[in-house]
Chain A
Amino acid sequence: MTRHSEWRRGMDLRAHIVDSLTPVRPLASPLRRTWLMVPSGVLLAATAPLLGGTRQDLSAYSPLITWGLTGLQALLGIWILGLGFREAVPGKNVSRPALVLASTLSVALLVGITLVTDAISPTVVPAGREWPFWIECVIGPMVLGAPFMLVATLMAIRAFPTRPALTGGLCGLSAGILADAGWRLGCFVSSPGHVVGSHDLAIVGLAAAGSLMAVLIDARRWR
C-alpha cells in the first residue's frame, strides 16, 4: 500500500468518525454500578423469606444467626458483584489473590453458616421426600437469582471484558449468594447434606449460567 492510499484511508476514516461524532454518556465506574445494584441485591436476599415465609423454628436462633448471617452473606454477594464489574474493565482485571480470597470467603461463609444453623436446630429432610425437596431448593434460588444474574452480566459485559467467562461467573456467583442468603431462612431443613447438595448447587449453577451467558453475549457482539 502506498503512503498516499494510507493517507487517503486515514482521511476517509476521520471523515466518517467526525461526521457521526456526538457526545455520549460514558459507562459508570464499577463502584457506582455496584451501588446501583445494591437495592436489587437486598430485595433479592429478602424475597424468599418475604414471599415464602420463614422456617418455623426461627425463634430458636438469635437474630444475629438468622438475619445477621443473611446480611453478612448479602454483603459478600455485593462485594463479589463489585469484583465482577471491576473484572470487566480492561486493564483492571481482578488479580489471582483476590479471586482466591473471594472463592475462599464464599466457601468458608456458606459452610460456616450451614454448620452453625445445623448445630443450633438440626432438622433433616422428611423420609421419602428427598427429591421434591432437592428440586425445590435447587430450582427456587436459581429462578429467584436469574433476573439479577442476567441484569448484572449485561451491565458488566458492556465494559468489553477481556475474560468474559470470569466476569459472568462472578456476576452469577453474586446472584447465587444473594438468592441463597434469603432462601436459607425459608428452608426448614438444616442438614449439611441437603444444604450443600441443593442450595450450594444452585449457587454454582447460577455462576455457571452467568459465565455461559457472558461468553455467548460477548461472542454475539463480535459476530
Chain B
Amino acid sequence: MVTRNPSDEEDPNLREFMAGYQAGRADAFDHLYSALVADLKAYLTALSRDSARADDLLQDTFVQIHRSRASHIPGHPVRPWVFAIAKRTYLMYQRGASRRLRRESDAGINMTATPISTQGQLDARHQVEGALRQVSSDRRQAFLLHHLFGFSFKEVAAKLGINPGAAKIRSSRASQDLRKILGDDHDAP
C-alpha cells in the first residue's frame, strides 16, 4: 500500500502523551496541551484571522479532542488528527456564525459597523481579506501558515496532513492567485 506520511517527524513523545491521555492520565493531557497549544493557536488564528476568536476556537478544539479521544488510533500521528479536529471545529463555528448573521440580517440588525483607524488602511485590509477569501481554503491555509506565521513547509505539511511538496505548491499557488486577484482589482476601473 503506497501512502504518504508527512508526520514522521513529529515528536514521538506526543504519541505517548496521547496514549496516556486515552488511558485517563491527567498529566498526559497537560503534556499534550503544552505541546500543541501554540501551534493550534497559530493555526486557528490563520483560519479565523482574529486572535480573540482563535482563543475561543482553541478551547472548543480541546473540548472536541477530549470528546473524540477514543477515535485516535494508538501509534498513529497525533498532529494531523488534532489539526483535522481543529479545522472541523473552525468550520462548525463558521457555519454557526453565518447562520447567526443570516438570522440577524433577517431581523434587520446592521452588522457593518467596525472600528476605523484610517480609511486607507481599512481599504487595504478589506482588499487583502477579500482577495484571501477568493483563494481556495487549502491554498489559503498553507499560504498563511507559511507566510504569516512563519512555519516551515515541513511544519505546514505536518499540520495539514499533506507532504511538504504539496504544502509548497499550495502556498505558491495561493501567491499566484493573490497576485492575479489584487492585480485584477487594481486594473479594474
Query: What is A's interface to B at a CB cutoff of 8 Å?
Result: 1, 6, 9, 13-14, 16-18, 20-30, 82-83, 86, 89-95, 97-98, 101, 158-162, 221-223
Query: With contacts A17-B26, A89-B81, A221-B88 known, what are 10 further pairs, Cβ within 8 A?
Result: A17-B63, A18-B26, A24-B24, A24-B69, A28-B73, A90-B83, A91-B5, A91-B80, A94-B2, A159-B71
Query: What is B's interface to A at a CB cutoff of 8 Å?
Result: 1-7, 19, 21-26, 29-30, 33, 51-52, 55, 59, 62-63, 66, 68-77, 79-81, 83-85, 87-89, 91-92, 95, 158, 161-162
Query: How many CB-defined contacts (below 8 Å) exist between A and B?
Result: 118
B55 touches A21 (CB 8 A): no
Nearest Cβ distance between residue B67 and chain A, in whole angstroms? 9
B73 touches A29 (CB 8 A): yes
Interface of A is mostly: loop
A90 touches B161 (CB 8 A): yes
A25 touches B3 (CB 8 A): no
B79 touches A17 (CB 8 A): no
B3 touches A86 (CB 8 A): yes
What CA separation (Å) do A22 and B23 show in the bound complex?
7
- With a cutoff of 8 Å between Cβ atoms, the chain B residues found around residue A94 in the complex are 1-3
Counting from the closest, the 9 A-B pairs by CB-CB distance are: A91-B80, A90-B80, A91-B77, A24-B70, A23-B24, A90-B84, A98-B2, A222-B92, A90-B81
A22 touches B68 (CB 8 A): no
Chain A minimum-CB-distance residue to B159: A91
B24, B79, B81, B91: which contacts A160 (Cβ < 8 A)? B81
